[in-house]
Amino acid sequence: MSELRRDTLTGRWNIINTDDPLGPEAFDRESHRIVGSKCPFCPAQEQFTPPEIYAIRPTPNAANKPDWLLRVIPNKFPALKIEGDLNRRGMGIFDLCHGVGAHEVIIETPDHGRQMANFNSEEIARVLIAFKLRLLDLRGDRRLKYSLIFKNFGLSAGASLEHAHSQLIALPIIPKRVQEELHGAERYFEFRERCAFCDMLHQELQESERLVAENRLFVAYCPFVSSFPFEVWILPREHHSDFAQITNEEIEDFGRLLVETLGRLHRALFNPSYNFIIHTIPMERRDHEEYHWHLELIPKLTKVAGFEWGTGFYINPTPPELAAQVLRNVSGSPIPCVGESKTAESKKGMVESAIQPSNSLPRQAQQEGGS
């Protein structure tokens, strides 16, 4: 018989197929053929993107030139634009405001053939540093309430370009899903005077059957109430509510575990498309001792259909206990990149260049462009 499992934080119920669970071989495989033609994210194509907001390059004063290791640019087709006022207003019973926000693209590597599962420690550290610095910079805009970092890999996960990239969208509103997590964590803390995420992490470490991998500072596991097959969360062992306060030491361990987890998913599920998101505290300047930042990683193996839309329940055909066992039993070493370029590895003297555009708009306010 299947099981109904309830999420402690949100109160949401999911249906877990414990009767006849599906293993990795049961899911369709998606091809990720590298084409590489006319890619606007490749070096020497900078004229096809807007001016960079931030970059890491081996030499200073070379903005928007090919010699870079990582670039952040405004999205060419942004969901929200930085210019303008919110103009909050009502229309009968409805609320609305202008689509003000920020939409940025983090181009993670100059090498078109590399993906995050191929990254070495330096490459993944550069990406995480960019995440952190962009979050901190956007907090200077008082119109914005929440920033979400996310990554879409593969067509079925929503990626329109194959060159490795992730995105950041800053909103003038705290999203409902985040609000549910925050309110659930607050209720738990008020009752128990403990962080719900810390308690969950302690239980996962104690029971161990849903653990995927761990290192000194971070833990990866399949949540007890997983909504999707082979869903993995990564949490810091120590209580931290704000991803933007991550230290260099934590970046090293977090990056290592993230690449390891992606490597396990790649091998166990035959290189699936996936999404990941980073949930952190809102931009307001107060400590959230009840909240715990985390990354949620979701392989795209199933589709959301009528039952899920109609009920808010998710049917997960693979129990997290089985998913974790499968992932533990494969290697987590970085995936070799066929025909990979050595260019990025040979560059020395890396420096960061946070480029201030010439006009008076904030750095994130430059013309839209990029993904």
Q: Which residues are catalytic?
A: 165
- Taking the C-alpha atoms of residue 164 and residue 109, their distance in angstroms, rounded to an integer, is 7
Other Cβ atoms closer than 10 A to 3: 13
Burial class (CB in 10 A: 0-12, 13-18, 19+), 342: exposed
Q: Where are the beta strands (DSSP E) in 248-336?
A: 274-279, 294-299, 315-316
Structure tokens at 266: 């790649």
157 phi and psi, to 5 degrees?
Answer: -95, 0
CB 274 within 8 A of CB 125: no
Which residues does 82 contact at the CB level (< 8 Å), separation at least 6?
Answer: 74, 100, 101, 102, 141, 361, 362, 364, 365
CB 105 within 8 A of CB 370: yes
In the DSSP assignment, the letter for residue 286 is S
Reduced to 3 states (helix: H, G, I; strand: E, B; else coil), residue 101 is coil
Which residues does 69 contact at the CB level (< 8 Å), separation at least 6?
Answer: 56, 57, 58, 109, 110, 126, 344, 347, 350
Burial class (CB in 10 A: 0-12, 13-18, 19+), 42: middle
